Amino acid sequence: MQSDGSDTKNGFAATSDSEPGQVGLVRRRFGFNFSLEVQQEESSFATTKNTSNADFDPIPPSKRTWNWGAYVAYWMADAWAVSNWEVASSMIAVGLSWRMAIGACVLGNFLMGLVITTNGRIGAILHTPFPVLARMPFGYYFSYFVVLSRCVLAIVWLGVQTTTGGQCMTVLLTAIWPSFANIPNHIPESEGITTAGMCGFVLYFLLQLPFLCIPYTKIQYFFAFKSIIAPIIFLAVFGDTLHKAGGTISHSTVITKGTTIHGATLAWAFFNNLNGVLGNYSTLGLNIADFSRYANKPSAQNVQAIVIPFIFTIVGLLGIFTAAASQSAYGEVLWNPIDIISLWMKSGSHGGRAAAAFGAIGLLIVTLGINISANSISAANDLMAFAPRYINIRRGQILAAIIGSWAFVPWKILASAQKFIAFLNGYTIFLGPMTSILMTDYYILRRGKVSVPDMYNFHGIYRYSQKWGTNWRAVVAFFIGCIPPLPGFIDNIVEAGGSKTSVSAGGQHLYVLLSILFFSSIMILHAD
């Protein structure tokens, strides 16, 4: 879609669909018409040169292409993921029944749907990215800390999902060429990956790069495609496993095993797992404006409040039922669909290999969608905040993919770093207060009356202090929100590594309740 010029008349940057802000002010040029600097339109809201670019500016009317169906497709693309399929596994492992596990999923996803929709409305009205919105409550300087906190998490998860995609690629290559599994391994076992696995990882990484270059005005079509493919693949895994189990799951211990803990232990276990569900998407709860800014009208994104609890609960249920069926079908409880698809090749038949190949292709598409919807675009917006002169969305996505896939060594994280995984899952203690402060500032303190131009003005009203450039009230509220649960957070990380700490039960309980208790308390504190 080409701009008709109306955007420029209304004060918005008019850019092309090929790569918004790709060509502009040129100081250094390399071959193939490449410019090191990205374009800052003359109509930019930024008052200081090179502090914004066409991607970082508010989305002009002609680029607001996401309707309610696009948000349904977005969450369909995000929900059908291996991690959401396995979400109940840890709950059942600690003693909850499958029904209580689903209850935690329903309640957690309902609450997260409300937070995402409420926070998303800010982006749908102002059409600015999350890093710019963060300047409103936190001030210009401290907003960089907030953005960095979100950026690191997005990049790490991008690398972890790339590793999952590499596993799918390995299954695909083995299904096509069975001898691929016999490639001699020359990588030390301590690295957590084999030579064959590294080949799959590299190929998936290269496959992923072109998809990161899809313009944001067109990416919803890929989400729509994935929202069709993903349910087919996961339902096929469930259907085949159920068929091999004789059409019943009633004899599996996943179903027959009831609650094995009681009283206060049960209550705290439930809240701990509820906290895990909330933490799973606390990142998008904070930066959903990176996607809601594309809405063609503010109400278009409201459908998220319904879609999120509905589709995530279905995925969790299918994961439980498939794991139950796998016990009868394969003799063990299998939560990971990649493991089940790998077993389809065991017969050595052409049909089994073909099924595994198609299943692996489907999971490749699933993982691509997850990395774009939950990680790469968010990381790109965050990186733009630090160098808008040189980074736009496309460059930011590619840079984030390189850092996440190689600098963080994600295959080693998945293989052995249980403490690091616990750290990522507990990161909510930092993101929760940030989300609460952002929502409180916009809806309660300012009642929606904000100045978008001042968000781009280094010396505007959101600088707060000429010396510090920070809103000290928001900073104090943030630290009050994240310090009390910090001992429990540390205890959770240490326990994941097999050790113990001297943190009291009260400290552990504060950490368990952080997502609900501290989200609400920080909202009240910052409002006061």
Q: What is the DSSP string of 498-511?
A: T------HHHHHHH
Give me the phi and psi of 56, to 5 degrees please: -90, -15
Sign (positive/negative) of CA torsion 327, 329, 331, 336?
A: negative
Count of positions (residues) in the chain: 528
- Give residue 93's pLDDT: 83
**For residue 188, pLDDT beyond 60:** yes
Q: Report the distance separating Cα 283 and Cα 370, nearest Å.
A: 13
- Give residue 527's pLDDT: 62
% pLDDT > 90, the chain: 64
Query: Which residue's structure tokens are 């600015």?
Result: 128
Mean pLDDT of 204-232: 92
**For residue 2, pLDDT beyond 60:** no
Domains, the chain, ordered by start: 64-417 (1.10.4160.10)
Mean pLDDT of 44-57: 83
Higher pLDDT, 28 or 343: 343
Q: For the segment 231-273, what is each residue's pLDDT rounded down to a tens digit?
A: 999 999 999 999 999 999 988 999 998 899 999 889 988 988 8
Mean pLDDT of the chain: 88
Q: For the segment 101-114, what is each residue's pLDDT rounded down to a tens digit?
A: 999 999 999 999 99
- Give residue 425's pLDDT: 74
Assigned token pair, 338:
């990649």
Asked if 161 and 170 count as a contact pair (C-beta separation under 8 A), the reply is no
- Give residue 215's pLDDT: 87
Q: For the segment 358-412, what is each residue's pLDDT rounded down to a tens digit?
A: 999 999 999 999 999 889 999 999 999 999 999 999 999 999 999 999 999 999 8
- Give residue 5's pLDDT: 44
Asked if 309 and 228 count as a contact pair (C-beta separation under 8 A), the reply is no
User: Range with the lowest mean pLDDT among 60-69, 170-179, 299-308, 482-491?
Assistant: 482-491
- Give residue 27's pLDDT: 43
Structural element, H or E, at residue 29: strand 29-30
- Give residue 88's pLDDT: 87
Strand, coil or helix: 66: strand
Higher pLDDT, 315 or 507: 315
Sign (positive/negative) of CA torsion 484, 308, 373, 63?
A: negative
Assigned token pair, 358:
């198609």
Q: For the segment 150-162, what is each residue's pLDDT rounded down to a tens digit?
A: 999 999 999 999 9
- Give residue 514's pLDDT: 65
**For residue 13, pLDDT beyond 50:** no
Q: For the segment 285-296, what is each residue's pLDDT rounded down to a tens digit?
A: 999 999 999 999
- Give residue 347's pLDDT: 78
Vertex 471 angle, CA 468 and 477, to 5°: 130
Q: Report the distance separating Cα 229 and Cα 394, nearest Å.
A: 25
Answer left, alpha or beta for residue 228, where phi above 0 means left and psi between -120 and 50 means alpha.
alpha
- Give residue 528's pLDDT: 60
Cβ neighbourhood burial of 85 (10 Å; 0-12, 13-18, 19+): buried
Asked if 429 and 278 count as a contact pair (C-beta separation under 8 A), the reply is no
Q: Which of 29, 33, 43 is nearest to 453 (CA)?
A: 43
| 82 contacts: CB under 8 Å, gap ≥ 6 | 164, 336, 337, 338, 363, 366, 367
Q: Which of 207, 210, 150, 151 is nearest to 400 (CA)?
A: 151
281 residue type, one letter? Y
CA-to-CA separations, 415 to 50, 411, 412, 489, 503, in angstroms, rounded: 42, 6, 5, 22, 28
Mean pLDDT of 122-145: 97
**pLDDT band at residue 41, thresholds of 50, 70 and 90?**
low
CA-to-CA separations, 422 to 383, 406, 414, 462, in angstroms, rounded: 25, 21, 11, 35
- Give residue 50's pLDDT: 75
**pLDDT band at residue 354, thresholds of 50, 70 and 90?**
very high
Residue 29 β-bridge partners: 35
**pLDDT band at residue 520, thresholds of 50, 70 and 90?**
low
User: Range with the lowest mean pLDDT among 56-70, 470-484, 495-509?
Assistant: 495-509
